[in-house]
Amino acid sequence: ITGIYETNLSEYFDGKMIISDLRMVQRLNDWGDSIAGGLEVYVKDVSQTDVIGQNIHDAIDYDLQVTSTAFKYQQVFQWLGLINRQVNILLVIILTVICINMISIVLILVMERTQMIGMLKAMGATNKLIRNIFISNGIDLVVRGLFWGNILGLSLCYIQYQFRLIPLNAHDYYIAYVPIAWHWDVILWLNLLMFIVVSLVLLLPTAVIARINPIKAIKFD
């Protein structure tokens, strides 16, 4: 397929595959009409590949063999698995940084409003009520951050998807540019996960409110 389609995987595809009529391949190899080098079977559920492969192996003659794509191109799938692990590690790092930043922001808000907290307690406000106020403010920051973050991130992804501005070394990465795939369910779940985790983390800094003495807080400067 060299000259028609470029995968940058010449040792697997570009230099070893052709697109042609089956009869031409049979003629080039001096095969009869009933002979082919192999048959490719597509499965709907990739997780069932090994099971289906074993069933086919049990049904065919002993001199034929079944090879899965994952086994035949192990290096490619190992490379993809490595990328997936790196993505997961990056997401964990990002989530950790977000949680630390939110804890710092809420702690600063609490410290800046120590006198206000003391006055609210002196007027009869409970720790739970005051904590809910700060948690609500924190959640508002999280929602706004997710909103503008999604706008900016998805916009940059769309630009890359359309114009491929960020290149890659095809020799090392098997692709000439950073690819973008739109998986809206993944984006939704990531946003939901970020919201839940960061909202729960907000409980930690607001616990400081229970330790604030109203008399000392009112005198605090």
Has residue 139 got a pLDDT over 90?
yes
Q: Are 212 and 118 in contact (CB under 8 A)?
A: yes
Nearest-10 crossing angle of helices 114-122, 127-163: 140
Give the Å distances, CA to CA, from 146 to 65, 88, 136: 51, 19, 15
Tokens of 14: 């570009």
Beta-bridge mates of residue 173: none
Average pLDDT over residues 196-219: 87
Has residue 21 got a pLDDT over 90?
no
Tokens of 93: 């790092």
Q: How confident is the model at residue 181 (pLDDT cuts 50, 70, 90)?
A: very high
Residue 105 φ/ψ, nearest 5 degrees: -65, -45
Q: What pLDDT score was predicted for residue 73?
A: 82
DSSP tag of 113: T
Taking Cα atoms as reference points, which of 196, 194, 197, 203 lies closest to residue 132? 203
Average pLDDT over residues 133-157: 95
Q: What pLDDT score was predicted for residue 58?
A: 92
Q: What pLDDT score was predicted for residue 75?
A: 84
Tokens of 206: 């607001």
Q: What pLDDT score was predicted for residue 217?
A: 80
Which amino acid, one-letter code, is at 175?
I
Q: What pLDDT score was predicted for residue 125?
A: 92
Taking Cα atoms as reference points, which of 119, 106, 134 lies closest to residue 219? 119
Q: How confident is the model at residue 70 (pLDDT cuts 50, 70, 90)?
A: confident
Q: What pLDDT score was predicted for residue 3?
A: 66
The pTM score is 0.75
- How many angstroms separate the CA atoms of 152 and 103, rounded? 24
Long-range contacts of 78-84 (CB under 8 A, 24+ apart): 79/174
